[in-house]
Amino acid sequence: MSTVPRTPVRIVDVAAAPRRAVVVPVKGGPLAKSRLELARSVRLALAEAFARDTLEAAAAALPDALLLVVTDDPHVGLWAGESGYRVVGDPGEGLDAAVAEGLRAACTDGAARASVLLGDHPALRPAELAAATGRAGDRPRVLVPDAEGSGTAMLEMSLDGAEVPPTRFGAGSARAHVALGYSPLRLAAPGLRTDVDDAESLAAAIALGTGRHTRSVLARATLPGVQATIHRPPVGGEGSALLDDGRVVAVPVAAVADSGLLHLRAGQRVSLELTADERAASRVWIVGIGPGETIR
Distances in Å between the Cα of 20 and the Cα atoms of 102, 114, 141, 284 are 13, 5, 14, 50
In a shared domain, residues 87 and 23: yes
What is the mean pLDDT of the segment spanning 195-208?
89
The number of beta carbons lying within 10 Å of the beta carbon of residue 186 is: 9
* Domain membership flag for residue 89: yes
Pair (182, 246) in one structural domain: no
Boundary residue ending a domain (193, 213, 242)? 193
Instruction: Return the minimum-mean-pLDDT range out of 160-164, 224-228, 232-236, 286-290.
Output: 286-290
- CATH code at 288? 2.40.50.140
- CATH number, domain containing residue 71: 3.90.550.10
- Provide DSSP, 31-89: TTTTTS-S-HHHHHHHHHHHHHHHHHHHHHH-TTSEEEEEES-HHHHHHHHHTTPEEEE
Q: How many other C-beta atoms are found inside a 10 Å radius of the C-beta of residue 162?
A: 6
Q: Choose the final residue of a domain: 143, 175, 193.
A: 193
Centroid of chain to Cα 51? 7
- 83 and 144 belong to one structural domain: yes
Domain end call among 137, 172, 193 = 193
Report yes or no on 97 lying in a domain: yes
Distance CA 246, CA 40 (A): 13
188 and 231 belong to one structural domain: no
pLDDT digits (tens, 9 = 90+) for 56-81: 999 999 999 999 999 999 999 999 99
Strand, helix or coil for residue 129: helix
Same domain for 292 and 230, yes or no, is yes
Q: Say whether both 294 and 183 belong to one domain.
A: no
Task: Evaluate whether residue 6 is within a structural domain.
Answer: no
What is the Cα 39 distance to its own chain's centre?
Answer: 18
**Average pLDDT of every residue of the chain:** 87
Task: Give the pTM.
Answer: 0.74
Longest dimension (CA), the chain: 74
Domain-embedded: residue 73: yes
- Which residues, including other chains, have CB under 8 Å from residue 194's CB and lie 6 or more apart? 121, 123, 146, 147, 153, 201, 204, 205, 208
Give the residue from 111, 121, 197 showing the smallest Cα distance to 156: 111
Q: What is the pLDDT of residues 122-164, one digit of tens each?
A: 999 999 999 999 999 999 999 999 999 999 999 999 998 779 9
Same domain as 289, residue 150: no
Which residues constitute the domain of residue 138? 14-193
Q: Does residue 228 share a domain with residue 185?
A: no
Residues 90, 230 within the same domain: no
Instruction: Look at the chain and report how many structural domains it folds into.
Output: 2
